[in-house]
Amino acid sequence: MNMFPIIISWIPGLNAIYEHEVRRSNYSFLAFYILEALLKIAAMRKEYFLHTWNLFELAITLVGLIDVILIEKYSMDYIFDLIQTVVFIKIVRFLRILRILKLVTPKLLQILDKKMSHQLSFSYAILKGYVQGEADIMTIIDQIASSKQVKQMLLRRVTRNTGQAMKELGYLEYDHPEIAVTMKTKEEIHVMLNLARQIIKVFRLKGIIQKIEGSEINKLIMAKKREIIDFQPIIKPLTVEEALYHIPWLDKEEHHISFIQDKARIVTFDCGNDIFEEGDEPKGIYIIISGMVKLQTSEPGLGIDQVLWESDEKDYQITYTDFVINGEIIGELNCLTNEPMKYSATCKTVVEACFIPKSHLYEAFKHYCQIEDKMWVKLGLSITAKKIREHLSYEDWNYKMQLRLCNIYVKDIPKSTKTDMYDETVIYVILIHGALEDCQLRKAYKAPSLIPTTCY
């Protein structure tokens, strides 16, 4: 409302007509500003002067008082030049429009945050898709090229590009953890909805459900997909307590979580610090809360949290390096086997992790033996998924993977024991730890590897 008399005062013709009204409105608005400031000071007291916006409004009010003093002084005597005084007074009154910034600025910041969130989400999706695409290529690299030199060249290039993309992804997750959590949530929702569509498709082909029923279910799935578009742009990252509820081998069991939480503690590492080095005795498990860690090993084999660029069964060697980010767990296998660390872990950013000591973990195994079993199953699933993917056709990967992994179990075979690998109920046998030898062909297999059906 104050803008209208201010605009009139800047138009010479209207100002001459409404000069008296403009002056009275100026006094009225100034009195309102003074009353507003006094009420805020009475209510907030010292807190009033701690807010920048309050100081900004108070400064505009004081400038308005100077405006009134100059007007009254000019009406009593003619000390100032007429033109200079009028121009100065009008400029001073125009400063009151800046009070609108208090209302406009939060909206502008909200719009900018939304735009930046969309851009960062788009960048995250591209990087995530690129990393997944390169990982898929590595599983079928033997089918792409038959020449050993071509394999090595492609593998080096894919490994280098994937490593660089993982770095960028890690830095993005470190700087904007809320974006990473949001995108991961959307990604998992998309995976489940796509899997549901594939299941409906198979059921229709097998005649389990009718065409009309399948169409109605597909409409519901598409409606859920459209809802993801309006999904909230930012989800706060999990706290340490919440992160424990999402560890697979704790399975959201209150007793297990409370027992682990008793001795678990938060540790922080600066950029460039070593969490542990290759050959060190395992001290415990690290659950990364924030930051990025570089894992590297000098020897091929199962180590880097079961996610290696390549395995021993390939006929060529590369540098074994990986990058893990928030939500990842490192050190599980070495705590289970109580063997020295097979890889080193170096912080690429400031890292905050939840540390579970090995002694406390072993104590948990004694009280709750199912924790150890579930930990082996979790490791077995991650290794099996990578190995089975190499032997499945690319079409409908997610659906086929779910069919293969829904009835998995882990079997412990003592050393120097003969056993049958396959029977009528087994489709795949994946060696996730240790080594074995085919009794007939005398061929040795070392983890991680897929055991052929001819092995005995």
- Is 74 a residue whose pLDDT tops 80? no
Higher per-residue confidence, 396 vs 29: 29
Most confidently predicted of 295-309, 338-352, 386-400 = 338-352
Specify which residues 400 forms β-bridges with. Answer: none
Q: What is the CA radius of gyration of the chain?
A: 34
Instruction: Domain ranges for the chain, please list them.
Output: 3-104, 240-383, 397-451
Phi, psi of 109 (to 5 degrees): -65, -35
Q: Which residue has the higher pLDDT, 215 or 51?
A: 215
pLDDT, residue 168, reads 84
Please tell me the distance from the alpha carbon of residue 171 to that of residue 168, in angstroms, as a whole number: 5
Q: Is the pLDDT of residue 397 over 80?
A: no
What is the pLDDT, as a whole number, of residue 76?
46
Question: What is the C-alpha separation between 334 and 292, in angstroms, rounded?
Answer: 20
Task: Collapse the DSSP code of 284 into the 3-class scheme (helix H, G, I; strand E, B; otherwise coil) and give the result.
Answer: strand
- Residue 306: count other Cβ atoms within 10 Å of its Cβ: 22
Residue 268 has pLDDT above 70, yes or no: yes
Inter-residue contact 324 to 249 (CB < 8 Å): no
CA 319 and chain centroid, separation: 27
H or E element in which residue 436 lies: strand 435-437
Tokens at 263, concatenated: 């001795």
| Closest by CA position to 303, among listed 275, 346, 341, 353 | 341
Token look-up 């089918």 returns 143
Short-list 392, 331, 359, 186, CA closest to 264: 359
Q: Which of 241-245, 354-358, 380-384 has the lowest mean pLDDT?
A: 241-245
pLDDT score of 311 more than 60: no
Which residues does 92 contact at the CB level (< 8 Å), separation at least 6?
63, 64, 66, 67
Local confidence band at 309 (pLDDT 50, 70, 90 cut-offs): very low
Would you state the pLDDT for residue 357? 92
- pLDDT, tens digit, 9 for 90 and up, residues 147-174: 888 888 888 888 888 878 888 887 887 7
Q: Is the peptide bond before 448 cis (omega within 30 degrees of 0)?
A: yes
The C-alpha atoms of residue 69 and residue 253 are separated, in whole angstroms, by 73
Pairwise CA distance, residues 129 & 122, whole Å: 11
- What percentage of the chain reaches a pLDDT higher than 70? 77
Architecture (CATH level 2) of domain 240-383:
Sandwich (2.60)
Percent of the chain clearing pLDDT 90 (strictly above): 6
Cβ contacts of 30 within 8 Å, gap of 6 or more: 61, 64, 65, 67, 68
**Mean per-residue pLDDT, 125-131:** 86
Is residue 452 scored above 90 in pLDDT?
no
**Span 408-449, pLDDT tens digits:** 888 888 888 888 878 777 888 888 888 888 887 788 888 888
What phi and psi values does residue 283 have, to the nearest 5 degrees?
Answer: -100, -25
Q: Residue 181: pLDDT above 50?
A: yes
